[in-house]
Amino acid sequence: LTRATVKTGLFKRRMIHVARRFGALEKWADFSNVSLQRLLKSFEGTPIFEEALKEVFLKDLDVERLVQVLEKIRLGEITVQKVETRGTATPVARVGIERVSMKTDLIPPERMRAVLVESARARLLNETCVFVCTNCWSYADMIRVKDLPAKPKCPKCGSEAIGLLKEEEEKVLPLIEKRGEKLTKSEEKLRRQAVQTARLIEKYGKAAAVALCARKVQPSDVKEVLEKSSHLDDKFYELVLEAERKAISKRFW
């Protein structure tokens, strides 16, 4: 269903709207036009592509009834008939052809790069997560990533083994109350996540915390990013965006 949806004009129009909201497209930009197919390809695997697909499923498609219709076609309750037009397009086909041939203005690659990098920088630095000390298990706090020092430390024991968890603080508190011991299965899962992310933050500092806030990425993905760049510069954010793109691609395909 996803593969069929991304080929529709409905999806392409929705993607244009989303791209404009993200700031990747300008309605009146004075640049060379590209076809919608090329536009689709340029955003493939990005958060823009993911958001457009999500909105199509939530706002544009009646997935439940679509499945019902397809099932009736399969059972023969609905028949599909071929219309002979002697080489001319039907009114419905003409609308589709016009949609496919639509053009739109795409900002130049270098400007798009800058827009995406700045967007990622603002988004990631403004994430708020729970940070927990995996050394003494007596400290946990909700902190906005931009407010972290370059090398986060536990105010209780001074350890730099600070784990990051994308959870509500209430779910993390049992780790502190139980000092990381005698945990339930769900709490043990959080403990492992905290320890895993703490290794990265202890080694790479704030940069690790920023990268760990990326969408859909795993600690192993973050480690690859940090091994290439651990400075909060444009290259770093480009690597994080690429890691997000790969993670999102795995999700859909």
pLDDT of 205: 96
Average pLDDT for 103-116: 60
Token pair belonging to 60? 């544009």
Could you give the CA distance from residue 224 to residue 244 in angstroms, rounded to a whole number? 12
User: Looking at residue 252, what is its pLDDT?
Assistant: 43
Residue 33: what pLDDT? 45
What is the rounded CA–CA span in Å between residue 230 and residue 246?
19
45 vs 218, more confident: 218
Does residue 108 carry a pLDDT above 70? no
Arithmetic mean of pLDDT, 25-49: 64
Q: What's the confidence (pLDDT) of residue 196? A: 96
Q: Is pLDDT larger for residue 15 or for residue 217?
A: 217
Task: Tell which residue, 214, 197, 131, has the closest CA to residue 169.
Answer: 131
Could you tell me if 99 and 9 are in contact, meaning their C-beta atoms sit under 8 angstroms apart?
A: yes
pLDDT value for 214: 92
Q: Which residue ranges make up each domain of the chain?
A: 2-107, 122-252
Rounded distance between C-alpha atoms, residue 224 and residue 161, angstroms: 19
Question: Rounded distance, CA 14 to CA 208, Å?
Answer: 34
> 249 pLDDT band (50/70/90 cuts)?
low
pLDDT for 49-78, tens place per residue?
Answer: 888 888 888 887 787 888 899 899 989 899
- How many CA atoms within 13 Å lie on the side-chain side of 178? 14
216 band by pLDDT with thresholds 50, 70 and 90: confident
- Which residue would you say has higher pLDDT here, 20 or 152? 152
Mean pLDDT of 182-197: 92
CA dist., res. 119 & res. 240, Å (int): 12
Q: Express each pLDDT in 123-161 by its tens digit.
A: 899 899 999 999 999 999 999 999 999 999 999 999 999
User: What is the rounded average pLDDT of the residues 245-251?
Assistant: 71
